[in-house]
Amino acid sequence: MLVSEMMNGLGCGQMSGLQRMVNPRPVRVIAVTSGKGGVGKTNVSANLAVALAQDGKEVLLMDADLGLANVDVLLGLQTSFNLSHVIEGQCSLEEVMVSGPAGLRIIPAASGIKSMVELSHAEHAGVVRAFSELSFNPDVLLIDTAAGISDSVVTFSRASHEVLVVVCDEPASITDAYAMIKILNREYGIHRFRILANMVRGAHEGHDLYRKLVKVTDRFLDVALSYSGAIPYDEYLRRAVQKQRAVVEAYPRSKAALAFRKVARKAATWPLPAQASGRIEFFVERLFGNTNRDVETL
């Protein structure tokens, strides 16, 4: 039976669901990482997610700092379940999802559970694959990775379309960002990274940070770095954190909020990959070649 004939006999809700299955909307997946803790990575993830949602995007934010999660705390959310319950088989990803500002959806992780830090590669891969079962079809999935270069950071970065590296003007931040880029490039074949300068004192400082990284990576690595912008140091950002709100929501006209919106608009235009990478990927079947298979199954 032709799909068009089947649709004629369905109600509106059923037809909408069938259309999503036959023509699934591609999902842009962005891993936000840093190499070093304390550079404001989670704040960047949360504010970019809210800014994208305010712009009308369907956004899903995953807290992938599996043992020291804090996205829910940063946004003042109360959660009953998290990724640890999914991994233990107690509930599905859909059931742990909570709503945040501007209609943003969040998948919280656990905090203070040692076993979550010690997940195997297969368990990390299982988390990635579980996203394909979601009925919610976002435009953007933002992954707030853990700091450092753990197995989870590597897995989630490799499974994403874009790796956004957050750096600030500290020698340790630049050194650790370079170390992370080096490992992902040499050991896992990732060649493209986007750089976001955080807590800068001026636009020139952001460009200087980017140039410092490029100078080293051009010399030693086979990578392409792109400058994604800079977030200024802003007292209103600290106030928003104290209120457990995103600065783009609490203080929408602040310098930091305007900068986050600018970066979010850029991120919404980043191109989707033309073909599968050969690695495990979030929502891979919604990007490549799923349409024909669904039609044949019907």
Q: What CATH number does residue 65 fall under?
A: 3.40.50.300
Residue 5 falls inside a structural domain: no
Query: In sequence order, what are the residues at sequence separation of 6 or more whose Cβ sits closer than 8 angstroms to the Cβ of residue 54?
Result: 102, 248, 249, 261
Does 17 reside within a domain?
no
Give 14's contacts (C-beta < 8 A, 6+ positions apart): none
Which among 243, 272, 247, 260 has a CA at the least distance from the CA of 76? 243
**Tens digit of each residue's pLDDT (9 = 90 or more) over 249-259:** 999 999 999 99
Residue 12 lies in a domain: no
The reply to whether 277 falls in a domain is no
Question: pTM here?
Answer: 0.87
pLDDT higher for 241 or 1? 241
> Which amino acid, residue 202?
G
What CA–CA distance (Å, rounded) separates 65 from 94? 19
CA 121 to chain centre: 19
Whether 84 shows a pLDDT value over 80: the answer reads: yes
Domain count, the chain: 1
The rounded distance, in Å, linking the Cα atoms of 168 and 200 is: 7
Q: Are 157 and 190 in contact (CB under 8 A)?
A: yes
The verdict on residue 84 lying in a domain is yes
Question: Residue 94 falls within a domain, yes or no?
Answer: yes
The mean per-residue pLDDT over the stretch 162-173 comes to: 95
What confidence tens digit (pLDDT) does each residue in 112-152 have?
A: 776 777 788 888 888 998 898 888 889 999 999 998 888 89
Indicate whether 142 belongs to any domain: yes
Q: What is the pLDDT of residues 17-36, one digit of tens each?
A: 444 444 467 899 999 999 88
The answer to whether residue 2 is domain-embedded is no
What b/e readout covers 136-172, taking b as 16+ CB neighbours within 10 angstroms?
A: eebbbbbbbbbbbbbebbbbbbbbbbbbbbbbbbeee
- Give the structural domain span for 34: 26-271
